Amino acid sequence: MVGGDQPLPLALRHSLEVEGYVIQESADVSELLHNSKLVGFHLVILSVGMKNPDLFTLCREIRKTSAIPLVALAEESSELDEAMFFAAGGDEFLMKSVTPRIFTLRVAALIRRGVASNSQSSETIEGGGLVLNLNTRKVLFDDVEVDVTRTEFDLLRLLMERPHKVFTREEVIAAIGGAGDFANDHFLDTHASRLRLKIKAAGGPKVITAVRGVGYRLISSQGRSDGGGLE
Gap between the Cα atoms of 39 and 230, Å rounded: 37
The reply to whether 121-218 shares the fold of 2-117 is no
For residue 167, give every residue at least 6 positions away whose Cβ sits within 8 Å of its Cβ, in sequence order, or none. 158, 159, 175, 215, 216, 217
Q: Is the pLDDT of residue 164 over 80?
A: no
- Extents of the domains making up the chain: 2-117, 121-218
Residues 6+ apart with CB under 8 A from 106: 71, 92, 94, 98, 174, 178
Q: CATH classification of 2-117 is 3.40.50.2300, yes or no?
A: yes
Over residues 41-76, the pLDDT tens digits come to: 788 888 876 555 577 777 887 777 778 888 988 887
Does pTM top 0.95 for this prediction?
Answer: no
14 or 79, higher pLDDT: 14
pLDDT of residue 2: 56
Q: Is the dihedral of CA 53, 95, 176, 198 positive or negative?
A: negative
Which CATH architecture fits 121-218? Orthogonal Bundle (1.10)
